[in-house]
Chain A
Amino acid sequence: MLAEMPNLVPILLSGMQATLILALSTILIGTCVGTVLGCLAVWGGAIIRILLYALVTIARGVPLVVQVFAVFFVLPVYGIQFSAMTSAAIALSVFASLTIMEIVRAGIKAVSHEQYQAALSLGFSFRDALMSIVFPQALRIMIPGLVNQGVFLVKATSVVSLFGVTEFMFVAKEQIERTLLGFEIMAVVWIMYTLICFPLTQLGRTLEARLNVRGAAQAAS
């Protein structure tokens, strides 16, 4: 049984590449788009805000697997067709953007309006007030949420194995069917996911600690 493992591990790891690409692109796109959407959700017009609120309600309410399903099988009906990997990346990125938007929105809202007004009163432009005063403080508030969401997104990539994307989970299932070494392979899967997520949570903790030293400040107002 264990004799199989040296052969199995490289095969399993070959699926890891797709998982990592998916996870990284999802987190990257989600963070960028989510930040922009988060700002729109705070300062955009009423229509934009309502629209974004509706979208995030759907993104949070509909099971992720169903959302991925929509990109894989509903879009092609309208003639929009992507490769399995691209479809997976799109589905996960949309979900990531909307959920991260909520984290960013809440973070910005949590910085008191007075901080922003104090900056304005000194003659700051809107942009400078955001960049120097609001965002640095919002970031500290957002970090735990962002790390959580990052870890969730790494794990969520496994969902697309259901749609034939040959990522880590898909390869693992294939190998289980081939070798019937369910327990052993699943053990490797567990360990690998934990190993990927560990640096993320660690990064979050480090950032939190670093920002907190400077910002024991928060208690101030």
Chain B
Amino acid sequence: MIEVRELKKSFGERVILDQVSLTVPQGTVCGILGPSGSGKSTLLRCVNFLESFEAGEIIIDGEPVGYRSVEGRREPLPRKTIARMRSQCCMVFQQFNLFAHMTALENVSIALIKVRKMPKRSALEAAEGLLGKVGLTHRKDAYPAFLSGGEQQRVAIARALAMQPKVLLLDEVTSALDPERSAEVLDVIADLSREGMTMMMVTHQVHFAREICNQIIFMDGGVIVERGDSSMITDPSSDRLKSFLRHLRLV
């Protein structure tokens, strides 16, 4: 479903991602671990093309993200194509980023109306259904300021799901939440993985990653240091991952 090939990205002199390659098959969850600044969030943002990248390619469901090659030259895709690709792999952010001037229901329905050009009535119906799915029907008329962090993040997930994306990108979605609030968000994500949603998930919740990820990638300094299945967490092979996990008091 997602294929990243030799992705390279730098800010000026600083290399953020170097020769990153990975494959996420349909219906699987790929967890990305790593210390801050290792490039894991940037990797997700590249997949959503919120960041440009200098070399390599990202392919989602057979379609290239961000760039195409025309007569051997690499050039950015038309804006419309970029927007369409984005709407097929939605991102959920650490800080929720709900639209502050809209109720929960409006937050979930707005993209259906503006992007999918759905009539308002059916968009609102679909949005209600999704809020039900994340257990927030009773909060549909609340503005983000009146929602708890966990509720906000669940609305944000519903907002992304509204687009019926092929892929869901989760960028440290529980990092701003206390353990109870993160549990309610993680439950939603676990449900999604059971339903076969393809996901890429940057997280510090190592235990959770081990439970639901089919594949785990450990990044440091812009490169993939180690990759494997969930057993990697209990049985790391690289020293770097060992020391990372030791700091988390897991090994």
Contacts and interface: CB of A to CB of B under 8 A. Distances in A.
Interface of A: 112, 114-115, 117-126, 128, 132-133, 136-137, 140, 214-221
A22 to B, nearest CB: 35
Given A117-B50, A132-B110, A137-B101, A122 B87 contact: yes
A133 B143 CA distance: 14
Given A121-B86, A122-B163, A215-B143, A221 B95 contact: yes
A122 B111 contact: yes
Given A118-B99, A137-B101, A216 B83 contact: no
B50 A121 contact: yes
A128 B112 CA distance: 12
Interface residues of B, number: 32
B50 A125 contact: no
Given A137-B101, A216-B146, A123 B86 contact: yes
Given A117-B50, A119-B99, A220-B144, 12 more contacts: A115-B97, A122-B111, A122-B160, A122-B163, A123-B111, A123-B115, A128-B115, A133-B99, A137-B100, A220-B98, A220-B145, A220-B147
A7 B86 CA distance: 70
Interface of B: 48, 50, 79-80, 83-84, 86-88, 90-91, 93, 95-101, 110-111, 114-115, 143-147, 152, 159-160, 163
A216 B97 contact: no
B108 to A, nearest CB: 10
Contacts of B80: 125
Contact of A124 (B83, B91, B101, B147): B83
A115 to B, nearest CB: 6
B99 A115 contact: yes
Contact of A220 (B83, B91, B100): B100
A114 B163 contact: no
B86 A215 contact: no
Nearest to B144: A220
Contact of A215 (B83, B91, B100, B115): B100
B93 A118 contact: yes
B93 to A, nearest CB: 7
Contacts of B96: 221
Contact of A117 (B97, B98, B110, B144): B97
Given A115-B100, A136-B101, A215-B101, A120 B143 contact: no
Contacts of A219: 145
A78 B12 CA distance: 48
A126 B79 contact: yes
Contacts of B146: 216
Contacts of A140: 101
A133 B97 CA distance: 11
Contact of B143 (A125, A128, A136, A220): A220
B100 A217 contact: yes
A123 B101 contact: no
A128 B114 contact: yes
Contacts of B88: 123
Given A216-B145, A220-B143, A123 B87 contact: yes
A123 B83 contact: yes
